[in-house]
Structure 1
């Protein structure tokens, strides 16, 4: 396969999410600039040989704002191995990466980051959805690439084994990993910079505990209750946890780390996506 077919431009898009006024964006990835090539649906994307990664969301013809959050090069076969494009995550399990259960393992930010593991910016570092609204809170609970860390590592290893997908001409893997040598990811790096060591350690411990608890709670709610009710209850739990986090931080520290004031309720989990795969299957 020629390098021109393997390497394409990846565009990262955002649009305000499901709740008006909530500080959260939905994120997704394409291989085309929808301002230059406007496409109305995924069938049109497929017909032109382009890629659209739904990332646990509906199809969006354009972003809001209209310009992409960022762009870079992507190794298309590698990205396709990590997460299947042109397929709705609600319908096709291979379009979920390792965000197997939406709302428990992660949300759109984590799945878009998994696609972008196969990308590079100008410095050779994989792109992420950092800068989208809600990203910092999302990463606090669900990590950068989802809570199923072992499955994600296995997925990366499997996809990298193919020389076309993961070879030296590919994106991702050769740049920054999700964790630095001291175990920090995007959220921890910001927290370590802002907080003194003792309070950073306290926050990191809270983060580990709350993230693990939320995953277990979310899985139970998703298995036992209707989707919209489960999503509402998961979002309530998220806000309760954030209220506890705010007790450890000053107002300015909280706003710097999360991107919104501590009294602002947030809905990270889209009510239309929780149990959506089960609804479709039925």
Structure 2
């Protein structure tokens, strides 16, 4: 259970500053030098967070190293190519890719991977409704559906909040302290930028399938299914995805339409109604703001 265990894996809060430092380096740099710049002795914080960040970035293939200890030489890895020092959005995309990459079509190899704990909780949490449901440490400790192999305590809960936000799949609840909701709008928008060019329109079902392919922990995605969180129907977007799509429609970045001549429609969840909102096409608007 490495990714929800701060003693085994660094949190994104520390990983991002270390990665930014590496992103501007030319060639390789020693671990000792990295520590001197990112955790100088004058701060009195020690070097453990930096060392753990380097190890985590190495496991995610964002960095590569040769040698051991302070003399190890670090360089950018294959997953880091093309990430600018200030491009946190691209960093988020690569984090998701690194965490969810699988060597097997059904993602079975990830069930026992270092990120299995994080993946399992994300799959569980993304089935909830961000309009009406939120999670706190207290609520998950008493929720019998919470993944049973994860011991809920404040350190694991804090790690989940940090990782969920870092990969754009959760957000802080706007009305309750130390709580989060299944707001995956950031990750969904980044995926839609790959699926749709500005001004392009596609069948809604094709877009929905594309989102589940790029973010396989979403309801209906291959990792959600493999980890035992089965989705009712391929056509049902579910609360979390619906929340994200409708948010970007409200903000003028997407246009969701139902065409009378459409062959297929997806069903978007509506929190204030017993009926689904049908959608047949999704269009990315060129004139939308960033």
TM-score normalised per structure 1: 0.29
Rg larger in structure: 2
Greater RCO (Cα-Cα under 8 Å, separation 6 or more): 1
